[in-house]
Amino acid sequence: MRAVLITVIFLQLCVGLECVIELPNAVKKCHFGDTKCIKETANNLIRRYPKGISSIGLKPLDVVHVKDTVLVNDPPVGNAWYHFELVNQINYGFENVTITEVHGFDEDPTSSKIEIKGIIPRLVYKGNYIAKGRMLWMVNINSTGDSESEFFNFFFEFSLKVQTEYRNNKRYLKIYQLVPNVGLDRWIMWLDNFFPDNSDLTILINKIFNANWVEFWNELEKPILEIFTSVFLSIIQNTLENVAYDDMFLSNKYIKEL
């Protein structure tokens, strides 16, 4: 709480005094478009600051709160319908991401496609679920409990379209389109208390899920992708808002003049 207050007050002062919010000195700056350097710097930054950098608005990577999400929402009619909601979810594991490929980030960031690829060895979502429904064998489902999902070797690819916005004669980056693509090696899930009166059935349903995770993934990839994308944006968006694009990189101009 105190850190948040200090950051807010600092940012207010900065708006008033037009001061410059800079990346920490420990972060090695790269030239625009030097994607090899940018990739290394990004990985160093992630390793060094798993708890984020509050002075520039970089959110913690190790613990990310996720907005409540309805994953399945059938209308409650007939013999088989299902409503499944994830609430109070926290995302763990982003701090272990390795950025594997970066494209773009040129002096004019709109001149080429920006792409970021990475892999997370183990991505975990922990929280509570709410399930309602009726299954084929006419079992009514009405349960809530703890949920835990683990995604192994979760890889992602983000294609970004950006605009620049001028403030105090400096350019700030605004993402206006993000196309994500993800994949994984394995998904393991546990829903506690799924059949509150029958723990054997709860174990069985979890076993069925885990044996058929690929089918569930194919069904649920789209909403999960949305969750993951919002986690990614929530981590970086404030930083792009606070740190000017021109202050993130070294200009190439003098290289060209030499």
Residues that bind ligand NAG (CB under 6 A): 92-93, 96, 122, 124, 142
Between the CA of residue 229 and those of 91, 149, 222, what are the distances in Å? 12, 17, 11
User: 51 vs 122, which CB is nearer to ligand NAG?
Assistant: 122
Q: What is the helix (H) or strand (E) element at residue 107, kind and residue range?
A: none
Nearest CB to ligand NAG, comparing residues 96 and 206:
96
Q: How far is the CB of 227 from ligand NAG (least distance, A)?
A: 16
What is the C-alpha separation between 155 and 113, in angstroms, rounded?
A: 19
Instruction: Write out the E strands in the chain.
Output: 30-31, 63-65, 69-73, 81-92, 98-103, 114-134, 140-167, 170-183, 186-191, 249-250
Dihedrals phi, psi of 254, to nearest 5 degrees: -70, -25
Asked if residue 184 lies in contact with residue 154, where contact means CB atoms within 8 angstroms, the answer is yes
List b or e across 27-64, with b for residues whose CB sees 16 or more CB atoms inside 10 angstroms: beebebbbbebbbebbbebbeebeebbbbbbbbbbeeb
DSSP state of 258: -
Q: φ and ψ at 40, to 5 degrees?
A: -65, -45
Would you call 180 helix, strand, or coil by DSSP? Answer: strand
- In whole angstroms, the minimum distance from the beta carbon of 142 to ligand NAG comes to 4
CB of 127 to ligand NAG, least distance (A): 14
The nearer residue to ligand NAG, 148 or 226, going by C-beta atoms, is 148
Query: Minimum distance from CB of 120 to ligand NAG (Å)?
Result: 8
Nearer to ligand NAG, 187 or 249 (CB): 187
**Which one, 117 or 122, has the nearer CB to ligand NAG?**
122
Q: Closest Cα to residue 182, out of 162, 159, 161?
A: 159
What is the closest distance, in whole angstroms, from the C-beta atom of residue 215 to ligand NAG in the complex?
Answer: 25
CB of 124 to ligand NAG, least distance (A): 5
Report in angstroms how near the CB of residue 94 gets to ligand NAG at its nearest.
8
Nearer Cβ to ligand NAG (74/247): 74
Nearest to ligand NAG by Cβ — which residue?
A: 93
Residue 54 or 96 with smaller CB distance to ligand NAG = 96
